[in-house]
């Protein structure tokens, strides 16, 4: 069964008012259960708006989105979101940050320890459980962010340029590690980025959006084998996809 369906969605900020701004128009998309999809498009084409609506932070002005047939409205832990800016709590250790959601929902101490152990390891922070966020690099704080969202055990992971602020080398390592965690958990991932190489490397499918109002311009299926390896970025097949998509983006 398809996991998320975006059905004829249009979004106009301030609809009906003098300052009305249509940022997304006529979007139809299906995200299959367990798939990894990236969304690319120039700045301002409505990528973050689309993702925030999927998270349930606000409703579209027209059309709807459904998760397993149920209309999405309001936030729910089934849909977890990671932003570019870290959302790590500076007053909690790595472990406490990671178990924050389950603790809020009344998980017992032993359940919390179990979740902390599992997810600190999965995001590559084993040994850093008792560190404070200020002692971590940007990449490590991002790992805490991802671990915390995973610890809520969402069905859908919404990621809005999560690695946008990281240096190239850290970014590549984070991409490989993200794929490894995804391969083990098989959540549905929707990943927004303006980095074409990142989108191709990670995804089963890359959705290219047009400039505002964002429409779907093209959907590219990426058939590179998994697990993805860094060397694949240099293959002809990879570079051809990148060139083709680059030509479609509004520069
Ligand atoms: N809350 C808001 N009210 C009015 N306009 C907004 C709001 N949020 C975003 N916008 C506008 O919508 C457009 C798309 O924004 P956004 O979804 O952030 O684009 P992207 O993530 O693709 O760069 C931009 O022109 C932005 O200024
Ligand atoms: Mg954005």
Report yes or no on 141 lying in a domain: yes
Q: Report the phi/psi class of residue 16: left, alpha or beta, with left for phi > 0 and alpha for psi in -120 to 50.
A: left
Note the pLDDT tens digit of each residue in 171-194: 999 999 999 999 998 899 999 998
| Ligand 1: nearest atom to the Cα of 42 | 22
Tokens of 79: 């849909």
Q: Is residue 60 part of a domain?
A: no
State mean pLDDT over 184-210: 95
Element (H, E) at 53: helix 47-55
Residue 247: inside a domain: no
Task: Quote the number of domains for the chain.
Answer: 1
The per-residue pLDDT of the chain, averaged, comes to 95
Q: Residue of the nearest CA to atom 5 in ligand 1?
A: 13
Q: Per the domain annotation, does 211 fall within a domain?
A: no
Residue 143 falls inside a structural domain: yes
- The verdict on residue 113 lying in a domain is yes
**Domain span at 103:** 88-153
Query: Mutation test of ligand 1: which of 19, 24, 27, 46 has the most ligand atoms closer than 8 Å to its C-beta?
Result: 46
Atom of ligand 1 minimally distant from the CA of 46: 17
22-40 pLDDT tens trace = 999 999 999 999 999 999 9
- The alpha carbon dihedral of 55, 59, 61, 67 has a sign of positive
């Amino acid at each position: 069964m398809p996991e998320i369906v975006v059905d004829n969605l249009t979004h106009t900020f301030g609809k009906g008012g003098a300052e009305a701004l249509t940022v997304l128009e006529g979007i139809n998309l299906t995200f299959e259960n367990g798939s990894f999809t990236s969304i690319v498009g120039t700045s301002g084409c409505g990528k973050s708006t689309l993702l925030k609506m999927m998270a349930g932070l606000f409703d579209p002005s027209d059309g709807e989105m459904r998760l397993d047939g149920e209309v999405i409205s309001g936030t729910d832990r089934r849909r977890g979101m990671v932003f570019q800016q870290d959302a790590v709590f500076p007053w909690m250790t790595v472990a406490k940050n990671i178990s924050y959601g389950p603790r809020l929902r009344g998980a017992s101490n032993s359940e919390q320890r179990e979740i902390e152990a599992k997810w600190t390891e999965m995001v590559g922070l084993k040994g850093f459980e008792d560190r404070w966020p200020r002692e971590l690099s940007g990449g490590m704080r991002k790992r805490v962010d991802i671990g915390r969202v995973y610890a809520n055990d969402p069905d859908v992971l919404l990621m809005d340029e999560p690695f946008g602020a990281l240096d190239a080398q850290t970014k590549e390592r984070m991409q490989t590690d993200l794929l490894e965690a995804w391969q083990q958990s098989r959540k549905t991932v929707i990943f927004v980025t303006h980095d074409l190489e990142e989108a191709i490397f990670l995804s089963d499918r890359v959705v290219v959006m047009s400039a505002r109002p964002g429409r779907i311009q093209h959907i590219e299926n990426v058939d590179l084998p998994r697990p993805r390896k860094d060397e694949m970025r240099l293959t002809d097949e990879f570079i051809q996809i990148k060139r083709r998509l680059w030509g479609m983006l509004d520069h």
